[in-house]
Homo-oligomer: A and B are copies of this chain.
Amino acid sequence: MNKETYSWQEAILYSHKMAQLTKAIWKSIEKDWQEWIKPFDLNLNEHHVLWIAYHLRGATVSEISKFGVMHVSTAFNFSKKLEKRGLLTFSKKEEDKRNTYVKLTEEGVRLFEETMAEHDPEKNSVMQASLPLKSIYGSFPEFQELESIVKHLYGDEYLEILDRSLESIRKEY
């Protein structure tokens, strides 16, 4: 992994393509996500906090920050707002005083489940734009290369949390 393994031109071509493709897809996901949760008076970060705390059955602020890809202070501030709305509670564990745990209240669970019940894959543009691939290959793409990149960017822990979150969705619905 030294600089001799790629040329400057190769690097800029690759970075530019990655930037354009991931910006285009993420911005589309962001827009649809905002539309979906607007009726619940939640913004994307707040819903992401609820999502993580729900599917991980409680999470630390640091896990929310990491998996939600937001600064620790952003994760904390949005969690604080949700606490004020009675949707979650903060706590410390006897054996681990350093971390702050976030857990949804009954009201938080109810609201999160309502948002999920409202999710309509027909209105999810990236889903729809992926159907031609599914019809060719028989299943949605796995994106193992993206997983490998994310693993090297954020560490194994990120993909472990993703797996726990996907496992919880599999069990739940």
Contacts and interface: CB of A to CB of B under 8 A. Distances in A.
Interface of A: 1, 3, 5-6, 8-29, 33, 67, 69, 116, 119, 121-122, 124-135, 140-141, 143, 145-154, 158, 162, 165-166, 169-170, 173
Contacts of A150: 20-21, 24-25, 129
Nearest to A14: B140
A147 B148 CA distance: 18
Most buried by B among A24, A69, A130, A150: A24
B148 A133 contact: yes
B158 A5 contact: no
Contacts of A154: 24
Contacts of A165: 16, 20
B153 A28 contact: yes
Q: Please provide the 9 A-B residue pairs with the shortest distance between their CB atoms, ordered closest to farther.
A: A129-B152, A11-B121, A26-B26, A22-B26, A141-B145, A14-B140, A21-B146, A129-B153, A129-B149
Contacts of A124: 11, 15
Nearest to A116: B12
A148 to B, nearest CB: 6
Contact of A135 (B5, B18, B69): B5
